[in-house]
Amino acid sequence: MPRKQPKATADASDNQASLLLAWYDRHRRHLPWRSAPGEYADPYHVWLAEIMLQQTTVVTVGPYYQDFLKRWPRVQNLAAAPLDDVLTAWAGLGYYARARNLKKCAEAVVADHRGVFPDTEDGLRGLPGIGPYTAAAVAAIAFDRPTTILDGNVERVMARLYRVATPLPKAKEELRELASRFTPQKRPGDYAQAIMDLGATICTPTKPKCILCPWREICAAHAAGDMEAYPKKLPKAARPQRFGLCYVMLDKQGRIALEKRPEKGLLGGMMQVPTSDWLGQAFDEGMADELAPAKLKWRRLDGGVTHVFTHFALHLIVFAATGVKPDPRYQWVEIDNLGNVALPTVMRKVVEHGLGKLV
């Protein structure tokens, strides 16, 4: 006989939440931004971690989170920090609009809320860079509000519990409604972290550890034996390809020329070597000198750099020139000081490729 699915009753929901919380009390992940079960977490810490964790793994975020707290231990410190310093500290985490919104949000908390984060989901939604998920997460984890969290982990758990046939992203509202049935009035902050931990460590995308799951008995996908078939997803469209030219210039002192990207748009406000526009077709070789930032003896470097963004893949051809007379249009940076510059990952790849080929 197929096992029963979760019932939409208060008693059943409370029972399942209690089972999950009991599992969480024994098996929760120990993360630097978390408080002990039953205790309130610092809203600044929770917010900072949640922004960093968007599209980024826990393992990657850990060192960045610790570094940010060391530099800016309170939201007032972050609000007062120069944007370039924040972007530099963020370099490597990707999705750099998050860093700019992080700064704007800190400024808004200080200017409009006297340095205290709003303690409701609606209040948090009014801050820059805070969307529905982050508002729900901070309200639950920092203020113990009974909000419904819906991240990728929760979507996967709910899709499997109910064998939701609707593919993502169309299924989001359906999954949100299902998730809301389980949100308890007691310990909602711990519950929010518990269900995310369940998805991250037990109900994983592949090879879920069902034998260890506290909700195994009510999971329709487990009963059917087709857990990895959920959540359903629409077929991925082919990733667009873009192309560009990069120019690595070194002066006689070995300093590299960098420029700041426009504040708006992808990688806004970050630093780069002089670079062409990114086009949807490969560049004609004859365009290299025409698009170069200066009339120099350019050398095309073997190979190139490919970097995959969320919505497209970027292919860059790298040219280099050495012994260049410094041009005041650019910042000339010592190679040893590149760690103090807000270089996005794609430009770090370009610089490493250029320097590696020039040695």
- The residues assigned a catalytic role are 50
Tell me the two tokens of residue 91: 């370099």
Using CB atoms within 10 A of its CB, is residue 331 exposed (0-12), middle (13-18) or buried (19+)?
middle
Cis peptide before 146 (omega within 30 of 0): no
Give residue for tokens 């809320």: 113
Amino acid in position 288:
A
Angle between helices 43-53 and 97-113 (to 10 degrees): 160
Tell me how far apart the terminal alpha carbons of the chain are, to the nearest angstrom: 69
Q: Where are the alpha helices (DSSP H) in the chain?
A: 10-27, 43-53, 58-71, 75-80, 83-90, 97-113, 121-125, 132-143, 152-162, 172-180, 188-197, 220-224, 287-291, 345-358
Q: Which residues contact 306 (CB under 8 A, 6 or more apart)?
A: 313, 314, 315, 316
Residue 251 CA to chain centroid, in angstroms? 36
CB atoms within 10 A of CB 187: 20
CB 86 within 8 A of CB 102: yes
Q: Which residues contact 252 (CB under 8 A, 6 or more apart)?
A: 323, 324
Helix-strand-coil percent breakdown of the chain, rounded to 5? 45, 10, 40
CB 256 within 8 A of CB 273: yes
**Could you give the 3-state DSSP secondary structure of residue 57?**
coil
